[in-house]
Amino acid sequence: MRPEPRLIEVRKNVLKQNDIVARTLRDSFHAAGVFVVSLVSSPGSGKTAFLEKTLTLLRPNYRVAALVGDLATENDALRLARSHAPVKQITTGTLCHLEAAMVQNAIQEEHWDLNQLDFLFIENVGNLVCPSSYDLGEDLRLVLISVTEGEDKPLKYPTIFNSADVAVVTKMDLAAAVEFDSQTAHKNIQAVRPGMQVFKLSAKTGEGMQNFLNFLSKRLQELRPTPVT
Amino acid sequence: MHELSIAMSIVELAEEEASRRGVQIEAVHLKLGALAGVVKDALLSCYEMACDETPLQGSRLIIEELPVIIFCTTCQAQHPLNSIQLFCCPKCGTPSDLIVQGKELEVVALEIKECAPNPA
């Protein structure tokens, strides 16, 4: 008798394993009251400079730490360590993105006590494609573009922009030199993610940073509502 | 290029399901949303590689691509987007980020080889 094909229903999310770990992470972050921000961008748009500035400015008032993903080298961790915040490099080898399990392992290896943190930053591998599919348990996904990359970046990589919660346009100190069209960039961001909040700033000069820090403080407060008396 | 690790997860998932049910797999049916961040052609070629030297070797991956569907608050209705570069209602132009469909990356069914029962 010739075998006949038969269809059986399965319905399983391919990234279920990652989603389970991400959910566990998110629960533990919330239980500890730490606000977690992940950063995605193309290589070279200035994630590390932006993060170094953010850590340095937050540190006098908040307890901060950062995980930073790269295919190789500890260079970014060394740069971020200048902010005197605890920093851990995750080297992914050939992998083009971070996964939730890597975040979990890194936190465990460092023995970080989440209860002792206000903000945790996770800098993803420089890549505007692959990181979009992987939940890391973060509260906020921040996509960064620099003025030197052109205004059409959101249209070229709509998936990652759509998956992000806020956008940061960096290197604004170079905007005039590269004839960056701020309005067009804003319009393109809104086309792929209607209503997304956009911060324009320069990590180098500090212009616009305060606005972003105020936003982070507010989000942390929302995460830890003061009990009504 | 993360399609290989996605393909390996698909094979792993299907293999698990096959051994649990004691069946042989002929094809895997996958739903792929336009916002899943996965390229169909890349996934297809990676699938073949991922199947190598596994019980799924020689099986097919059948991908159903799903467009993004948004809910429009003005029309009070769901509409498929014309392009993922513009999250606006195709009928009335209202911007919308209420995504109803498009993020799927889901194994929905397995086509199995039905083995004839052993003659008694």
DSSP assignment string, A146-158: EGGG-TTHHHHSH
- Yes or no, beta carbons of A193 and B97 under 8 Å apart: yes
Q: Residues A126-144: pLDDT tens digits?
A: 999 889 999 999 999 999 9
Q: For chain B, what percent of residues have pLDDT higher than 70?
A: 93
- Residue A176 corresponds to which tokens in the numbers above? 């005039």
pLDDT value at position B90?
Answer: 96
pLDDT in tens, A62-93: 999 999 998 888 888 888 888 889 999 998 88
Asked if residue A112 has pLDDT above 80, the reply is yes
Q: What is the pLDDT of residue B120?
A: 47
CA distances to A154, A159, A175, A192 from B72, rounded to whole Å, are: 22, 20, 35, 15
Region of poorest pLDDT, from A47-56, B24-33, B93-102, B111-120: B111-120
Residue tagged 């086509």 (tokens) = B111
Instruction: Provide the domain limits for residue B35.
Output: 3-113
Kindly report, residue by residue over A6-18, the tens digit of the pLDDT. 899 999 999 999 9
In terms of residues, how long is chain B?
120
Residue B71 belongs to a domain: yes
Percent of chain A with pLDDT over 90: 81
- Residue B117's pLDDT is 54
Q: How confident is the model at residue A229 (pLDDT cuts 50, 70, 90)?
A: low
Task: Choose, out of B24, B61, B84, B115, the residue to mutate when testing the contact with A (most A CBs < 10 Å).
Answer: B84
How far is A181 from A199, CA to CA, in rounded Å? 15
Q: Is residue B100 part of a domain?
A: yes
A3–B116 CB contact, under 8 Å:
yes
Hey, what amino acid is at A47? K
Does a structural domain hold residue B59? yes
A220 with A229: CB under 8 angstroms? no
**Is it the case that residue B8 has pLDDT exceeding 80?**
yes
Q: Is A92 on the interface with B (CB under 8 A)?
A: no
Phi, psi of A146, deg, nearest 5: -105, 155
User: Do the Cβ atoms of B106 and A194 come within 8 Å?
Assistant: no
Per the structure, how many domains does chain B have? 1
d(CA B90, CA B70): 10
Q: Does A12 contact chain B (CB < 8 Å)?
A: yes
- Give burial (CB, 10 Å; 0-12/13-18/19+) of A29: buried
Amino acid at A107: I
**Which tokens sit at B33?**
């949303």
- pLDDT for residue A88: 93
User: With an 8 Å Cβ cutoff, is A93 touching chain B?
Assistant: no
Question: Distance (Å, rounded) from C-alpha A66 to C-alpha A9?
Answer: 42
* Each residue's pLDDT tens digit, B42-62: 999 999 999 999 999 999 999
Per-residue pLDDT of A85-95, as tens digits, reads: 999 999 888 78
Average pLDDT over residues B80-102: 96
Q: Which domains does chain A have, with CATH numbers?
A: 16-218 (3.40.50.300)
Pairing of strands A197-200, A166-170: parallel
Task: State pLDDT tens for residues B19-34.
Answer: 999 999 999 999 999 9
> What residues of chain B lie within 8 A of the CB of A194, using their CB?
87-88, 95-97
For residue B92, being part of any structural domain is answered with yes
CB of A7 less than 8 A from some CB of B: yes
- Residue B56 located in a structural domain: yes
Q: How confident is the model at residue A186 (pLDDT cuts 50, 70, 90)?
A: very high
Q: Which tens digits make up the pLDDT trace of A19-43?
A: 999 999 999 999 999 999 999 999 9
Mean pLDDT of chain A: 93
Q: Nearest C-alpha of chain B: how many angstroms from A10?
A: 5
Whether residue B72 is contained in a domain is answered as: yes
**B42 has a chain A CB within 8 A of its CB:** no
pLDDT of residue A70: 85
**Distance (Å, whole) CA B82 – CA B74:** 18
DSSP-derived 3-state class of residue A224: coil
Is B58:B49 a contact under the CB 8 Å cutoff?
no
**B118 assigned to some structural domain:** no
Tell me the pLDDT band of B118, cut-offs 50, 70 and 90.
low
Residue A55: closest CA among A114, A146, A120? A120
Q: Identify the CATH number of the domain in which residue B53 sits.
A: 3.30.2320.80
Tell me if B20 is assigned to some domain.
yes
